[in-house]
A and B are shown apart, each in its own frame.
Chain A
Amino acid sequence: MSLTDPSESRSPEQLRLEARVHSAVASVDDPEYPGISIVDLGLLETITLGPDATATIGLIPTFSGCPALAIIADEVVIAVQELSDINACSVEWLKAPAWHADRISHEARSCLEKKFTVAVQLGERSPTCPLCASKTVEQSMFGPSRCRSVHRCTGCGETVEVVRG
């Protein structure tokens, strides 16, 4: 935290507006995981409110070649511009920090496990099976996308997709 933390100079109105912008961004779901917000997946990094009621949303991609970037950015702009006190919104894809699976919220993790049978890899340890909680073993580091690998459960034998950083 720098000494000139902007939050100290922001008025209550600004903070309230920022919270509304935050909720608007959070209303956008990941296009491949309907029901899971991009904020819960850890994509939101910064919200900057400028003069003339403009908002700049700083997002980080799970990986830079992700084909969903344009669609996510479009949806964020639409959601934020729907707020009556925002005139214009733009999205900036930040180059740092790098996204990592530990940015996924607890809620989103449990939704990934329960709704999509997808596990999340945190650290080096292989994640447990969303169905039976046994150990899983990696079958291929290449899943259907750069941020996912394919594992197999040593307990129930389920084929498990794993989200990884």
Chain B
Amino acid sequence: MDDFETFLNEGGIVEPDDAMPDEYRQAVFRFIELHANSELMGGLTERDWIPRTPGLRHKMAVIAKTQDEFGHGHLLYMVAADMGIKTRREMLEDLFAGKSRFHNVFHYRAKTWGHQVAIAFLVDAAALASQQAVFKNCSYGPYRRILKRIIAEEGFHMRLGEDRMMRIAQGNDMQRELFQQAIDDWWWPALQLFGPDSKPNDLLLRWHIKSERNEVLRDRWVQKFVPMLQGYGFTVPDPGLYFDDELDRWVAGPIDWEPLKKTFANVGPDSVRRIGEAAAHWEQAAWVRNALDAHHLANV
């Protein structure tokens, strides 16, 4: 392990066929599986909104974003399966049986278009920041290469999010109220997406799977979005938030981590419905998989 860590510290990149300590293989696998699951669950959320999205411009974006998320999920499941721990089907079955994790933000329900705007604007930015921090220095080659493309595409989602946010922010009182309510509902889940402060001996950092501490990423996000939302005349639902003149920075109030823990245990506010619907889609699409398998068998 010492030699392996020296290799990583010197910027070594691990490829699937290379020898690697089992702990490293497990850690990378769990991380990619979580990411893949989150893309899939995120795609399903987005898909729910295709018929309800206002206007052709936004609708095209939502359709494309749905395909993007599923495409990312597919690529990530392939990379994760190559690690030889679980097959793609096992990962999916675990997800639909509620046995594995996906990001906290997909354990909540997107109730209004305002929520969708807040998700595209706040949550996507948080997810992108986390992915960028992984990509910057990621020691696992296949994941690093996939992330490069995913990040470019998520960056594009961010711009669509900004476009949606600007439109709703320049809207009438009712639209602005809708968006304020959405900020109130999504501010904390987005902040919690970064996770609690990284532990001093965080293995993901040590093995160059992640490159920045959770609290650093979270703070950067706060510095960006507090002034932006306030600039558009919205309020941030954190009573403890203040601007520290000496530090010249925004300081967020204490964060309640209980909601995050609940989502980790798949008992968040909307977890049961989300997982149940995803499992139902999987069941309903069984005939497509069977047909493809039959087609494949007939052609080998």
Chain B 245-273, CB within 8 Å of chain A: the 1/0 string?
A: 00000000000000000000000000000
Known: A142-B71, A145-B67, A145-B71. A67 touches B78 (CB 8 A): no
The residue in B79, B145, B160 that gathers the most chain A C-beta atoms within 10 A of its C-beta is B145
Chain B 57-91, CB within 8 Å of chain A: the 1/0 string?
A: 10011011101101110110011001000000000
Determine the distance from Cα of A143 to Cα of B73 in the docked complex, in whole angstroms. Answer: 10
* Interface presence of A25 (CB below 8 A): no
Chain B 29-42, CB within 8 Å of chain A: the 1/0 string?
A: 00000000000000
Which of A15-23, A99-107, A150-158 lies at the interface? A150-158
Partner of B63, one of A65, A68, A69, A152: A65
Chain A 13-51, CB within 8 Å of chain B: the 1/0 string?
A: 000000000000000000111100000000000000000
Q: Is the CB of B79 within 8 A of A159?
A: yes
Partner of A146, one of B67, B82, B148, B159: B67
CB distance from B71 to the nearest CB of A (A): 3
Chain A 94-136, CB within 8 Å of chain B: the 1/0 string?
A: 0000000000000000000001111000000000000000000
Report whether over half of chain B's contact residues are helix, strand or loop; otherwise say mixed: helix
Chain B residue nearest in CB terms to A34: B152
Determine the distance from Cα of A144 to Cα of B71 in the docked complex, in whole angstroms. Answer: 4
* Interface presence of A164 (CB below 8 A): no
Q: Which residues of A contact B206 (CB under 8 A)?
A: none
Interface size band for A: 20 to 34
Q: Is the CB of A70 within 8 A of B68?
A: no
Chain B 142-161, CB within 8 Å of chain A: the 1/0 string?
A: 10011011001101100110
* Interface presence of B171 (CB below 8 A): no
**Interface size of B by Cβ–Cβ distance < 8 Å?**
31
* Interface presence of B16 (CB below 8 A): yes
Chain B residue nearest in CB terms to A146: B67
Q: Is the CB of B74 within 8 A of A67?
A: no
Q: Is the CB of B82 within 8 A of A157?
A: yes
Determine the distance from Cα of A68 to Cα of B63 in the docked complex, in whole angstroms. Answer: 12
Partner of B75, one of A68, A146, A150: A150
Q: Is the CB of B148 within 8 A of A150?
A: no
Q: Is the CB of B71 within 8 A of A32?
A: no
Q: Is the CB of B159 within 8 A of A71?
A: yes
* Interface presence of A66 (CB below 8 A): yes
CB distance from A24 to the nearest CB of B (A): 20
Q: Which residues of A contact B159 (CB under 8 A)?
A: 31, 71
Q: Is the CB of B156 within 8 A of A31?
A: yes
Partner of B64, one of A33, A67, A161: A67
Q: Is the CB of B146 within 8 A of A65?
A: no
Q: Is the CB of A150 within 8 A of B74?
A: yes
Determine the distance from Cα of A158 to Cα of B82 in the docked complex, in whole angstroms. Answer: 9
* Interface presence of A87 (CB below 8 A): no
Taking CB atoms and an 8 Å cut-off, the chain A residues in 42-77 that contact chain B are 65-71
Partner of B60, one of A32, A65, A117, A143: A65
Q: Which residues of A contact B78 (CB under 8 A)?
A: 139, 150, 152, 159
Residues of A within 8 A of B (CB): 31-34, 65-71, 115-118, 139-140, 142-146, 148, 150, 152, 156-159, 161
9 pairs of residues in contact across A and B, judged by CB atoms under 8 Å:
A33-B152, A65-B60, A67-B64, A142-B74, A143-B71, A146-B67, A150-B71, A157-B16, A159-B142
